[in-house]
Amino acid sequence: MGYSKGGPVYRGLGKIPDRALLLFAGLVYLFLYAPIMVLIFFSFNSTRNTQVWTGFSTQWYGELIRDGSVLNAFKLSLIVGLTATAIATVIGTLTALALSRYDFRGKTFADSAIYAATVMPEIVVGVSLLVFLVAATVELGIVTIIIAHVAFCISFVTIVVRARLSGMDRSVEEAAQDLGASPVQTFLRVTLPLILPGVMAGALLAFTLSFDDFVITFFVAGVGSSTLPLKIYSMIKFGVSPVINALSTVVMVSTMILILGGSRFLSRGEKA
Amino acid sequence: MGKEGRSWTLRLAGLLAPVTVWLGLFFLVPLLFILAYSFGTSGVYGGITLGFNPSNYLKVFDPLYLEIIIRTFVIALLNTFLCLLIGYPLAYFITFKGGRHKHTLILLVMIPFWTSLLLRAYAWVVILGGDNGIANRVLQFLHITDHPLTLIFTPQAVMMGMVYSYLPFMILPLYAALEKFDWRLKEAAQDLGASRWHTFWRVTFPLSMPGVIAGSILVFIPSAGEFVIPNLLGGARTMMVGNLIQQQFLSARDWAFGSALAVMLAVLLVGAIMFYVRRVGAEKLEEV
Amino acid sequence: MAGEKRISRGDFLKVVGAGAVAGSTLSVLACQPNTTAQSSGGGGGGPEEKALNFYNWGDYVAKSTIPDFEKQTGIKVTQDFYGSNEELLAKLQAGGTGYDVIVPSDYMISIMIKSDILEPLDMSKIPNFKNVGDNYKGLPYDPKNEYSVPYQWGTTGILYNKKVLGTLEPSWDPMWDPANKGKIGMLNDERETPGAALYKLGYSVNTTNKEQLDEAEAELKKQKPLLRGYFDSTQNRPSVVNGDLLLGHVFSGDAFLALSQDEDLYYIIPKPAATRWTDNMAIPKGAEHPDNAHKFINYILGAKTGAELSNYTYYNTPNEAALPMIDDALKNLPGYQLGPSVFERLQIIQDVGKATREYSTLFTAVKSA
């Protein structure tokens, strides 16, 4: 009731649409990964060029290890990303529940505010947040970056989770409560598992937004809190070094290994 | 029924407190600054003198800027449409054909986006660029074209770049919405003799509307503020409102005008979304 | 209360209360020192903490410079990055502090001086200033070097494919030549590109004369159909190298990088005029380690460090004492060492005050055309 099984054998009314869909999906993945392959390719370039191939070399991987600053920036981005994602996902999910299931005075305002947070161009958010933080005499640093990231991620999580919530069959939750479960129990044992794919999707989106954010991060970062995008985007004027390609390759390959290796773990998540 | 009254309001308050505090403090209050700036006067070297100066808003209606705003809307709309066209089948595939590997497949969609957009844009320049670039060579090899095309630094390249950047914003909400879909409804329809296509159009797609709407919002709205793609993939020849606002805050040092533009953009977009949602019916969004 | 879902006053107060508690918790969290723990040392008596916060362009310092400085002085350097002068200015103006040494370009120095966000330099702490060549001292944006000393300098010119185009006369005309249609790349810079048009017309790059600006706008609009686009210098470089462009509007360092890898290319500094730019070191107001900042600036101006810097960045050094130690491969590239006749035709981009917005609007109109 309101919960799907992992979809296997589809009552085939024709294999052609199935094959077409598979081909299409393959093409989309190719589209998504084409630049990645180029990126990896150039991480082995023999000169400091990310667009013209001059020969094979692993020097950039060596430099990645020697020059700690890139790895530090990466580490920082990871810390910021994971923390901000966790907080934003929690807040965004709670908000989605509120907006999805309740009607109240000021709901229009709340809706508008959520949408407005996705509209505002980064430069506007960055500058105004900095002005505010300075006026509030908050010291700039990693914490302020996290604060800013949570602020712009909440809306995205909210909107994604709402998409999951709408049209959801409430009967299981009601049954649980009729059987005496408290609201918190109902939420944790019934609702949350039901909306989990939506919550995970929202979290994934939030992390992606946070990890590559430049403009807002630039303005609210403090001394010594240079995240990876700050390091990368600041290189535009004088040229991005293939060290960044090397880092990206390492990250991608490790993530792939983790995911494909762990896919067996992930794929057993289907409940009856 | 009847979980009304005090416990209801308490629960609602509990659910809304975190976002109220966080967005209230770190988004709405700064927004008030921007609102104030939009009525101020920019100093010659940046900075703002506050006051009541509506001329910044009047400046928005200058044909030069209106053209940019309109162009941005068109691009954002096209982007949304294309993302839907490409993203929906993929989300469908992952949800219904992915089986045990659903989660892996979704993660695989996102992983490329954990590398810097800058690097990926540079990679696209390599792929699409040059008479002997990868794309041109492939196209000629497949006999789709017989001479090299100019693919990069064109408005089409910008469009492709936009779709490329925003596809996850469409795919994730669609997946979230499709994934809860009840198989049995589909099977029931087909038991009753409906063709696959019919089933899709009359059953699946309408039920996935919340995902479609969410995805469309998440693509359309931020698209309007995009400034990186037009520069990196368009040779800076397609100016969007994001570039304009960026310019006003940075090189033109006209914070007042930049703020006015941002406020106008927000009002227009949020207004459009709210109007659409109210009209299509909050029902579509909440119940089915 | 079926069907009526209104919040009563008591509950409203509870929400506000919860919000206040959450809010104050958050503010307490936010006010904790950031993890690099740069607590304010200086101000008044007492020795400075042995730390320095260096805010620089990305990858604009040799790899060994900072570690050597740290070893020599025991001062720990934290480096942070920005990607444009305007971003730097906006951040400082919006209140972003904590940096001890910044590296703004020429016109930005004068803007910062006028905005009163720079600390005057104590030249007695920078004895290496004597290494700076006369050509690079006392420039219009800071005539007495009260607030800045030069860091690197360069020119903006044309990198082109000598093999295809042959040797070109130093002039801006090839960038407007219809024969090169689709293979020309200009800079996405609202002073440099309108500047190129102004140079071509024989005007000053800092003009505020409306007619001259209109003429420049017309020239640029005429040029636009011939262009591949407006790019960063670092995009023009590989585009010329791989043949997508025949001519690229570039900064000299990018040109030299390309020339050192490809002999088919050449770099010219066009007549009648072209830009010469200078990046400088300065100390923002409110810097917490001004003494260390001076030490660092002085260190950079040392002969060996200056050579290290230019050998890494491929830009020119203002440091005469460093010149002998510049790599020959670099020194001998065309356009690296400039004679006085070239110097004469170089102009420095300066802040034009209110007219800055004219340039912005001009460039927007051209890009939108």
Arithmetic mean of pLDDT, C273-283: 96
Query: Residue C29: which pLDDT band, with cuts at 50, 70 and 90?
Result: very low
Query: Residue B2: which pLDDT band, with cuts at 50, 70 and 90?
Result: very low
Query: Residue A268: which pLDDT band, with cuts at 50, 70 and 90?
Result: low
Please report the pLDDT score of residue B184 as a whole number.
65
- Domain layout of chain A by residue ranges: 69-240
Decide if A5 and B183 are in contact by the 8 Å CB cutoff: yes
B34 CB neighbours in chain A (<8 A) are 124, 128
Chains B, C: CB contacts within 8 A come to: 118
Decide if A230 and C95 are in contact by the 8 Å CB cutoff: no
Q: Classify residue C255 as left (phi > 0), alpha (psi -120 to 50) or beta.
A: alpha
CA angle in degrees (0–180, nearest 5) for A18-A20-A25: 95
Would the pTM of this model clear 0.80, i.e. be above it?
A: yes
Please report the pLDDT score of residue A49 as a whole number.
84
State the chains in contact with C (3 or more Cβ–Cβ pairs under 8 Å).
A, B
Asked which of A67-81, A180-194, C49-63 is least confident by mean pLDDT, the reply is A180-194
Alpha-carbon distance B189 to nearest alpha carbon in chain A (angstroms): 12
State the Cα–Cα distance between residues C305 and B113, nearest whole angstrom: 39
> What's A69-240's CATH class?
mainly alpha
Arithmetic mean of pLDDT, B2-11: 73
- Rounded to the nearest 10°, the torsion over CA A20, A25, A31, A33 is -140
Alpha-carbon distance B14 to nearest alpha carbon in chain C (angstroms): 7
Identify whether the C-beta of residue B35 lies closer than 8 Å to the C-beta of residue B25.
no
State the Cα–Cα distance between residues B229 and C341, nearest whole angstrom: 41
Arithmetic mean of pLDDT, C159-178: 94
3-class secondary structure, C76: strand
Alpha-carbon distance C95 to nearest alpha carbon in chain A (angstroms): 6
Please report the pLDDT score of residue B204 as a whole number.
82
pLDDT > 90: what percent of chain A?
A: 62
Alpha-carbon distance C175 to nearest alpha carbon in chain B (angstroms): 16
pLDDT tens-place string over residues A136-175: 999 999 999 999 999 999 999 999 999 998 877 788 888 8
Q: What are phi and psi of B147, to 5 degrees?
A: -145, 160
Identify whether the C-beta of residue B155 lies closer than 8 Å to the C-beta of residue B229.
no
The partner residue sitting opposite A236, judged by closest CB among C35, C232, C241, is C232
3-class secondary structure, C206: coil
Please report the pLDDT score of residue C47 as a whole number.
75
Of how many residues is chain C composed?
369
Decide if C5 and A104 are in contact by the 8 Å CB cutoff: yes
| Amino acid symbol at B113 | F
List, in sequence order, every residue forming a beta bridge with C153; answer none if it has no partner: C278, C316
Asked which of A142-151, B43-52, B101-110, C159-168 is least confident by mean pLDDT, the reply is B43-52
CATH topology assigned to domain B60-286: MetI-like fold (1.10.3720)
Give residues 92 to 151 of A whose Cβ lies within 8 Å of C: 102-105, 127, 130-131, 133-144, 147
pLDDT > 70: what percent of chain C?
A: 88
The partner residue sitting opposite B101, judged by closest CB among A36, A94, A263, is A263
Decide if B16 and C229 are in contact by the 8 Å CB cutoff: no
Please report the pLDDT score of residue C140 as a whole number.
94
Arithmetic mean of pLDDT, A63-77: 92
Query: Residue C27: which pLDDT band, with cuts at 50, 70 and 90?
Result: very low
Decide if C356 and B252 are in contact by the 8 Å CB cutoff: yes
A227 CB neighbours in chain C (<8 A) are none
Query: Residue C179: which pLDDT band, with cuts at 50, 70 and 90?
Result: very high
Decide if C1 and B4 are in contact by the 8 Å CB cutoff: yes
The partner residue sitting opposite A239, judged by closest CB among C7, C82, C234, is C234
Query: Residue C16: which pLDDT band, with cuts at 50, 70 and 90?
Result: very low
Give the residue from chain C lying closest to A219, CA to CA.
C91
Please report the pLDDT score of residue C33 as a whole number.
29
pLDDT tens-place string over residues C144-158: 999 999 999 999 999
State the Cα–Cα distance between residues C32 and C35, nearest whole angstrom: 9
Give the residue from chain B lying closest to A170, CA to CA.
B287
Arithmetic mean of pLDDT, B48-52: 89
In a 13 Å sphere around the CA of A101, the CA atoms on its Cβ side amount to 23
Decide if A140 and C98 are in contact by the 8 Å CB cutoff: yes
**What letter does residue C171 receive in the DSSP assignment?**
B
State the Cα–Cα distance between residues C88 and A2, nearest whole angstrom: 53
Q: Which of A154, A203, A161 is nearest to B27 (CA)?
A: A154
* Mean per-residue pLDDT over chain B, rounded: 88
Please report the pLDDT score of residue A225 as a whole number.
92
Q: Which of B106, B126, B153, B171 to mutate to test the interface with A (most CBs of A within 10 A)?
A: B126
State the Cα–Cα distance between residues B220 and B81, nearest whole angstrom: 9
A34 CB neighbours in chain B (<8 A) are 123, 127
Q: Which of B121, B264, B249, B237 is nearest to A216 (CA)?
A: B249
Arithmetic mean of pLDDT, A5-34: 75
Decide if B129 and C242 are in contact by the 8 Å CB cutoff: yes
* Domains in chain C: ranges and CATH: 51-153+278-331 (3.40.190.10), 154-276+337-368 (3.40.190.10)
Identify whether the C-beta of residue A32 lies closer than 8 Å to the C-beta of residue B167.
yes
Give the residue from chain A lying closest to B181, CA to CA.
A4
Give A20 or A271, the one with higher predicted confidence. A20
Please report the pLDDT score of residue A269 as a whole number.
53
Alpha-carbon distance B131 to nearest alpha carbon in chain C (angstroms): 7
Arithmetic mean of pLDDT, C92-99: 90
pLDDT > 90: what percent of chain C?
A: 78
Decide if A224 and C38 are in contact by the 8 Å CB cutoff: yes
C244 CB neighbours in chain B (<8 A) are 129-130, 152
State the Cα–Cα distance between residues C293 and C48, nearest whole angstrom: 11
The partner residue sitting opposite C29, judged by closest CB among A49, A104, A143, is A143
Decide if C82 and A67 are in contact by the 8 Å CB cutoff: no
The partner residue sitting opposite A127, judged by closest CB among C58, C90, C241, is C90
Residue C31 has pLDDT above 60, yes or no: no
Alpha-carbon distance C211 to nearest alpha carbon in chain A (angstroms): 32
Please report the pLDDT score of residue C48 as a whole number.
79
Query: Residue A133: which pLDDT band, with cuts at 50, 70 and 90?
Result: very high
The answer to whether A218 contacts chain C (CB < 8 Å) is: yes
Give the residue from chain B lying closest to A167, CA to CA.
B287
In a 13 Å sphere around the CA of B2, the CA atoms on its Cβ side amount to 2
C34-63 burial by CB neighbour count: b if 16+ within 10 A, else e?
A: bebebeeebeeeeebbebbbbbbbbbbbbe
Show contacts of B54-58: CB within 8 Å, 24+ apart: B56/B256, B56/B257, B56/B259, B56/B260, B57/B260, B57/B264
Decide if A139 and C33 are in contact by the 8 Å CB cutoff: yes
Q: CB A187: neighbour CB atoms within 10 A? A: 18
Give the residue from chain C lying closest to A232, CA to CA.
C58
Residue A8 has pLDDT above 90, yes or no: no
pLDDT tens-place string over residues C50-95: 999 999 998 899 999 999 999 999 999 999 999 999 999 999 999 8
Query: Residue C22: which pLDDT band, with cuts at 50, 70 and 90?
Result: very low
Q: Determine whether A63 is exposed, middle or buried from the number of CB atoms within 10 Å of its CB (0-12, 13-18, 19+).
A: middle
The answer to whether A74 contacts chain C (CB < 8 Å) is: no
The partner residue sitting opposite C1, judged by closest CB among B5, B21, B46, is B5
The partner residue sitting opposite C94, judged by closest CB among A219, A231, A234, is A219
Decide if C58 and A224 are in contact by the 8 Å CB cutoff: no
B248 CB neighbours in chain C (<8 A) are 360
Residue A79 has pLDDT above 90, yes or no: yes
Arithmetic mean of pLDDT, B267-278: 86
The partner residue sitting opposite A140, judged by closest CB among C34, C232, C237, is C34
Residue C187 has pLDDT above 50, yes or no: yes
B19 CB neighbours in chain A (<8 A) are 91-92, 94-95, 98, 114, 154, 158
Arithmetic mean of pLDDT, C293-312: 95
Query: Residue B4: which pLDDT band, with cuts at 50, 70 and 90?
Result: low
Alpha-carbon distance C113 to nearest alpha carbon in chain B (angstroms): 10
Asked which of A102-106, A226-230, C68-72 is least confident by mean pLDDT, the reply is A102-106
C233 CB neighbours in chain A (<8 A) are 237
Residue A244: CB partners within 8 Å, gap ≥ 6?
Answer: A70, A231, A232, A235, B116, B119
H-type alpha helices, chain C: 9-30, 65-73, 85-93, 106-114, 162-165, 192-201, 210-223, 233-241, 252-261, 290-300, 303-313, 328-331, 340-344, 356-368
Query: Residue A265: which pLDDT band, with cuts at 50, 70 and 90?
Result: low
Residue B277: CB partners within 8 Å, gap ≥ 6?
Answer: A111, B213, B285
Arithmetic mean of pLDDT, B116-121: 93
Arithmetic mean of pLDDT, C88-113: 94
H-type alpha helices, chain A: 15-42, 59-66, 68-101, 107-119, 122-135, 142-165, 171-178, 183-185, 192-211, 215-220, 228-233, 242-266
Q: What is the 3-state secondary structure (H, E, C) of B45-113?
A: CECEECCCCCHHHHHHCCHHHHHHHHHHHHHHHHHHHHHHHHHHHHHHHHHHHCHHHHHHHHHHHHHHH
Please report the pLDDT score of residue A128 as a whole number.
94
Residue A85: CB partners within 8 Å, gap ≥ 6?
Answer: A153, A203, A206, A207, A210
Decide if C368 and B14 are in contact by the 8 Å CB cutoff: no
Chains A, C: CB contacts within 8 A come to: 138
Q: Which of C5, C8, C9, C11 to mutate to test the interface with B (most CBs of B within 10 A)?
A: C11
CA angle in degrees (0–180, nearest 5) for B211-B212-B217: 100
Decide if A233 and C237 are in contact by the 8 Å CB cutoff: no
CA C346 to chain centre: 18
Residue B178: CB partners within 8 Å, gap ≥ 6?
Answer: B91, B92, B95, B96, B204, B208, B211
